[in-house]
Amino acid sequence: MAVQKIAVLGSGTMGHGIAQAAIVAGFEVALFDISQAMLDKAGETVRGNIDKHFIAKGKVTEEQGRDILSCLKLNTDMQKAVSDADFVIEAVPESLDLKKKVFADLDRFCQPHAVFATNTSVMSVTAIAGATQRVDRCIGTHFFNPAAVMKLVEVVTPIGVSAATIDIAVAVLKKMGKTPVKVKDVPGFIVNRLLGLLYQECAQIVLEGTATAQEVDTAMRLGANHPMGPCELADFGGFDVIQMAQDATYEYTHRQRDRLNILYRKMIEAGRLGRKNGKGFYDYHEDGTKTAFTIFT
């Protein structure tokens, strides 16, 4: 099956980036959200990105840029958005109940051949697929933030998915300029499972006073050539998200080292969630600068 029409559900951080990558690749995209305000914001962001990163840089002409944008349709009516889609990518908030409900609705609204993909980071793709009568056509496509830019997409294969569905997902992602990597449906997949260890250990180093967050970050940037230090990366990901991911991983592995480091729980209790609220291992200021936060005085 050649995919032409894609529906993206949820127009937030991930949804609008996925939609952008899809229209740039030549797909017709219906972007659905329950919030008109979020859709408007997503439409504006995508328009701005096409202007700034494609037209202004001479990658496409102004006319080609308009043609690309004309492939994006914003919609607050889910049934309309998905009824003629060949491939649906769900990027609604990280709640198993919500995702199961969305997949059950999709099963009713979509054509029989349509493939459903979830962008979940933490939830069981197998459980989400189980809300439909088409388990063989459900899969995980785990994009990374910013979704329009980041090359990797983990293709998460739940129990019961068909080889044809995997092929379709891989073909769609390759056309979007992504590099798909297949992984079984186990919490953390590949990247977050490994990053989780880094997050755990950097928090432990800071907690026991071996080094400060700044020292850890400088060491890993200069010593391991990481573009961001682990504490900076933890701030970027968000401590609440790390908590959810780590709890799910621990529930699966029951290894002590996968248990969320107490420092993250304490930081969350103190209202520090990372960059998203300007307070993590660092304090983030309005002028774009950051300063080290003294965790223990």
Ligand X SMILES: NC(=O)c1ccc[n+]([C@@H]2O[C@H](COP(=O)([O-])OP(=O)(O)OC[C@H]3O[C@@H](n4cnc5c(N)ncnc54)[C@H](O)[C@@H]3O)[C@@H](O)[C@H]2O)c1
Residues forming the active site: 121, 142, 154, 192
Q: 41 or 226, CB closer to ligand X?
A: 41
Binding residue count for ligand X, defined by CB under 6 A:
23
Q: What is the DSSP string of 167-211?
A: HHHHHHHHHTT-EEEEEES-TTTTHHHHHHHHHHHHHHHHHTTSS
What element of type H or E holds 140? Answer: strand 138-143
Residue 247 interacting with ligand X (CB under 6 A): no
Residue 81 within binding range of ligand X, rule CB under 6 A: no
Between CA 175 and CA 183 the distance in angstroms is 20
For residue 12, state whether it binds ligand X (rule: CB under 6 A): yes
- How far apart are the C-alpha atoms of 7 and 250, rounded to whole Å? 33
Is there binding between residue 246 and ligand X (CB under 6 A)? no
Please report how close the Cβ of residue 61 comes to ligand X at its closest, in angstroms.
Answer: 31
If we measure between CA atoms, which residue out of 173, 231, 243, 164 comes closest to residue 204?
A: 231
Q: Which stretch binds ligand X (CB under 6 A): 113-121, 150-158, 160-168, 176-184?
A: 113-121
Q: Are strands 138-143 and 152-157 parallel, antiparallel or unpaired?
A: antiparallel
Q: Is position 8 an interface residue for ligand X (rule: CB under 6 A)? A: no
- Give me 165's structure tokens: 């569905």
| Identified binder of ligand X from the candidate list 7, 19, 21, 38, rule CB under 6 A | 38
> What tokens appear for 291 in the block?
């300063």
By the rule CB under 6 A, 94 interacts with ligand X:
yes
Give the footprint of ligand X on this chain (CB under 6 A): 9-15, 32-35, 38, 91-94, 98, 102, 119-121, 143, 145
